[in-house]
Chain A
Amino acid sequence: METEKIIGLFKTVTSDAVIEIALVIAVSVAIIWLSQKLFPWLAEHLHGKQRLFVLAMIPTLRVVVFVLATIWIVPMVIETTVQNMIAILGAAGLAIGFAMKDYASSLIAGIVAVYELPYRPGDWIEVDGTYGEVKHIGMRAVELVTPDDTVVFVPHLKLWTGLIHNANNGGPSLMCVTSFYLTADHDAHQVKQLLEDVALTSPYVQLKQPITVVISEQPWGTHYRLKAYPIDPRQQFQFMTDLTARGKARLRAIEVKFANLSPEHAVPVNP
Chain B
Amino acid sequence: MSSDNHWRVIRLAEFERPDAPASTRVQQLFQHIRNLFPQSDEAADDEEQADFPGYREFDLKAGADALEDALGEWRAEGDAGIKFLISPPFSGTAAIAREWAQRHHWNKLTAPAEAQLSGVDIDAWWQDQATEQWLIDDLANYWQRRTDGMAFVRTLLPKLMRGELGQGLVICDSWSFAFLQRAWPVHLPNVYCFAAANEALLRQVGIQADEKKLKALAARALGNVGLALALWAVEQNDDHDLPSMPPDCGDETAFVLYSLLLHRSLSGAALQRLLPTIAAAQLDVQLLQLQQARLISYNEEQWQVTVYGYLAVRDFLKSRGFYVDAF
Q: Does B48 contact A (CB under 8 A)?
A: no
Within 8 A of B (CB), among A21-69: 45-48, 50
Residues of B within 8 A of A143 (CB): none
Please tell me if the beta carbons of B319 and A232 are within 8 angstroms of each other in the complex: no
Q: Does A109 contact B (CB under 8 A)?
A: no
Please tell me if the beta carbons of B321 and A206 are within 8 angstroms of each other in the complex: yes
Within 8 A of B (CB), among A233-264: 235, 238, 242, 245-246, 250, 253
What mask results when residues 240 to 261 of chain B are scored 1 for a CB within 8 Å of chain A, else 0? Answer: 0000000000010001001100
Given A46-B36, A235-B251, A242-B277, also A201-B321 (CB < 8 A): no
Q: Which of A116-124, A131-139, A155-163, A192-200 contacts B (4 or more CB under 8 A)?
A: A192-200
- B interface majority secondary structure: loop
B103 to chain A, nearest CB (A): 37
Please tell me if the beta carbons of A231 and B320 are within 8 angstroms of each other in the complex: yes
| A-B contacts, CB under 8 A, total | 54
Q: Does A189 contact B (CB under 8 A)?
A: no
B114 to chain A, nearest CB (A): 15
Q: Which of B39-47, B146-154, B202-210 contacts A (4 or more CB under 8 A)?
A: B146-154
A260 to chain B, nearest CB (A): 23
- How far, in whole Å, are A208 and B185 apart by their CA atoms in the complex? 12
Q: Which residue of B lies closest to A195 (CB)?
A: B147
Residue from the list B147, B320, B322, B323 in contact with A201, Cβ < 8 A: B147
Residue from the list A48, A194, A245, A250 in contact with B321, Cβ < 8 A: A48
Q: Which residue of B lies closest to A207 (CB)?
A: B323
Residues of B within 8 A of A172 (CB): 321
Residues of B within 8 A of A242 (CB): 277
Within 8 A of B (CB), among A97-145: none
Q: Does A147 contact B (CB under 8 A)?
A: no
- How far, in whole Å, are A46 and B320 apart by their CA atoms in the complex? 8
- How far, in whole Å, are A198 and B319 apart by their CA atoms in the complex? 25
Q: Does A75 contact B (CB under 8 A)?
A: no
Residues of B within 8 A of A253 (CB): 148
Q: Which residue of B lies closest to A47 (CB)?
A: B320
- How far, in whole Å, are A94 and B143 apart by their CA atoms in the complex? 73
- How far, in whole Å, are A47 and B249 apart by their CA atoms in the complex? 13
Please tell me if the beta carbons of B147 and A238 are within 8 angstroms of each other in the complex: no
- How far, in whole Å, are A246 and B182 apart by their CA atoms in the complex? 20
Please tell me if the beta carbons of B259 and A45 are within 8 angstroms of each other in the complex: no
Q: Does B108 contact A (CB under 8 A)?
A: no
Please tell me if the beta carbons of B319 and A46 are within 8 angstroms of each other in the complex: yes
Please tell me if the beta carbons of B147 and A194 are within 8 angstroms of each other in the complex: yes
- How far, in whole Å, are A235 and B150 apart by their CA atoms in the complex? 25
- Which are the 8 A-B pairs with shortest beta-carbon distances? A207-B323, A203-B255, A48-B321, A47-B320, A45-B36, A197-B147, A231-B321, A207-B182
25 pairs, CB–CB < 8 Å, chain A vs chain B = A45-B36, A46-B319, A47-B321, A48-B319, A48-B321, A50-B319, A200-B182, A200-B183, A201-B145, A201-B146, A201-B150, A203-B274, A203-B277, A206-B321, A206-B323, A208-B323, A231-B320, A231-B322, A232-B251, A232-B320, A235-B251, A238-B251, A242-B277, A246-B147, A250-B148
Excluding A203-B259, A232-B321, 13 further A-B contacts by CB distance (< 8 Å) are A45-B37, A201-B146, A201-B147, A203-B255, A203-B277, A206-B323, A208-B323, A231-B322, A232-B320, A242-B277, A246-B147, A250-B147, A250-B148
